[in-house]
Amino acid sequence: MTNAIDGLVSGLDTTSLINSLMQVEAVPQTLLKAKVSSSQNLISALQGLNTQIAGLADLAGKAAKPAALNLYSATSTSPSVTTAISANASAGQLDVVVGALARSQVGVSAAMTAWPADPAVLTIVSGGVTTEISAASASLDAVATAINAANTGVTATKVASGVDVGGVAQYRLQFTGNDSGAAKAFTVYQGTAAEVTANTAPDLLAATGAAVIRTAQDASVTLWAGTAAAQTITSATNTFSNLLPGVSISVSAASVDPVTIKVVRDDAQIGSLASGLVSSLNGVFALISTKSAVVNSTNASGAAVLSAGVFSGDSSVRDVKQRILTAASAPINGHSPSEYGISITKSGTMEFDAAKFAAALAKDPVTVTAAVQEIATRVAAAAASASDKYDGQITAKITGQQSSVKNLGDRIADWDRSLATRRATLQSTYTALETQLSALKAQSSWLTAQVAGLPTSSTG
């Protein structure tokens, strides 16, 4: 690049002059950069709106599902019987008497200093499965380790048990079933599986000094106790599933008197779902309103400046809002949603009247829940149409703006190259000017010297 001779001869500030000329030359590029900044702000705002509308579509889609409003709650008259609601629950009531709790088996061996035989071989029969186990040695630690590694559903623990007559420390092996229920009962034999089959292996838990501390047991509840229809239900755990449709109960203590389990429609949950849908709608509308507002401010000189929001005048955003608002507020079978406490306000947002909704739901639950699901279905469709990641209306606008920004970036890059060439030309021109002026000045000095050296003549 040619370097400018900055006013060495002419006295001109050629660098400042070139910079000023370049500012004028760069005006079109500056306008392009401003447009890029404006487009990027719009893209960012559109992406935020698209995310919020997609969230609305997801929420409304869930509320629109057939069983979404089949919401029930269950209660129990005893703290020892707790309830859990799952899908497909329905209203109902049931009395149960808790007869027993589920438990796992626990047994201990007789006191010993080491396993009675070496090599140490034992067999555990649990849940109808026979497992032969060989320990690395006759030490009780090795036997317990081998049992625990065998995954039989039984855990072995070495427990101190005093000393024998010779003063040698003794221990017992405690065997604990990992799972509760009668089917998880187990027996521990000293010997191989073949010896168990032949009935020649001794039962360690039946030996002298050994004991079954706790037997394996199912939990049980009795329905309609004290009547001819009384029926006992058992469970390997303390949880009973689907005694009533979609309802599980867990028991923690036996009972003498019947415990009443009652399942009713949960109007509070239904109201919360409807309120959440309205809140999500208003979140979208509030974002659009905020980004569309005209803001009053002042510039550096104190003059008033009006700045329009990024969505101001945007027909696509306005159309999306109107379609979602219509989906939420349009009549349902000739009835306005306002009859159920869901209404449109003068400012173009939605309002939820909890008391009015609760009263309408209590009076006609079928109609009200159907209305909420219809609103949710329409809102889900409108929101999905706007935010779909492939062909949503807002998505398409974002893609279009991103393409525009890319094209503007290419044009700005072209201007960078053009302006660089123009600056180089100006620098070359002014350098040539300074060089020419320098030559002329030198020639002028030479001529002046020549003239001064000419002889003078006089006339008399």
pLDDT tens for 294-342 read: 777 676 776 766 677 888 888 899 999 999 999 999 999 999 999 999 9
Question: What is the model's pLDDT at position 19?
Answer: 84
Percentage of the residues of the chain whose pLDDT score is greater than 70: 95
Question: Is the pLDDT higher at 380 or at 21?
Answer: 380
Q: Binning pLDDT at 50, 70 and 90, where does residue 157 land? A: very high
Rounded mean pLDDT of the chain? 89
CA angle 56, 392, 411 (to 5 degrees): 125
Amino acid identity for residue 119 in this structure: P
Question: What is the model's pLDDT at position 373?
Answer: 95
pLDDT in tens, 360-384: 999 999 999 999 999 999 999 999 9
pLDDT in tens, 166-225: 888 999 999 999 999 999 999 999 999 999 999 999 999 999 999 999 999 999 999 999
For 266, the enclosing helix (H) or strand (E) is none
**Whether the predicted pLDDT of 263 surpasses 80:** yes
Question: What is the model's pLDDT at position 118?
Answer: 85
Instruction: Taking residues 84-92, report their average pLDDT.
Output: 87
How many angstroms separate the CA atoms of 320 and 292, rounded? Answer: 14
Instruction: Taking residues 153-159, report their average pLDDT.
Output: 96
**Whether the predicted pLDDT of 426 surpasses 90:** no
**Whether the predicted pLDDT of 80 surpasses 90:** yes
Q: Binning pLDDT at 50, 70 and 90, where does residue 2 land? A: very low
Instruction: Taking residues 94-123, report their average pLDDT.
Output: 94
Instruction: Taking residues 10-34, report their average pLDDT.
Output: 79
Question: What is the model's pLDDT at position 401?
Answer: 82
How many angstroms separate the CA atoms of 83 and 105, rounded? Answer: 27
**Contact predicate 353/347, CB 8 Å:** no
Question: What is the model's pLDDT at position 53?
Answer: 95
CA angle 292, 320, 384 (to 5 degrees): 130
**Whether the predicted pLDDT of 442 surpasses 90:** no
What is the DSSP track for 186-229?
A: EEEEES-HHHHHTT-S-BGGGSTT-EEEE--B-EEEEESTTSTT
Question: What is the model's pLDDT at position 54?
Answer: 95
Question: What is the model's pLDDT at position 457?
Answer: 59
* Total number of residues shown for the chain: 460
What is the DSSP track for 136-156?
A: SSSSHHHHHHHHHHTTSSEEE
Question: What is the model's pLDDT at position 7?
Answer: 58
Question: What is the model's pLDDT at position 293?
Answer: 83
Q: Binning pLDDT at 50, 70 and 90, where does residue 87 land? A: confident
**Whether the predicted pLDDT of 245 surpasses 50:** yes
For 82, the enclosing helix (H) or strand (E) is strand 81-85
Out of 1-5, 47-51, 291-295, 309-313, the most confident range is 47-51
Question: What is the model's pLDDT at position 460?
Answer: 45
How many angstroms separate the CA atoms of 219 and 57, rounded? Answer: 45
Radius of gyration of the chain (CA): 45
Instruction: Taking residues 16-33, report their average pLDDT.
Output: 82
Question: What is the model's pLDDT at position 41?
Answer: 84
Question: What is the model's pLDDT at position 1?
Answer: 45
12 to 9, 20, 129: CA distances (angstroms): 8, 13, 104
Instruction: Taking residues 399-422, report their average pLDDT.
Output: 84
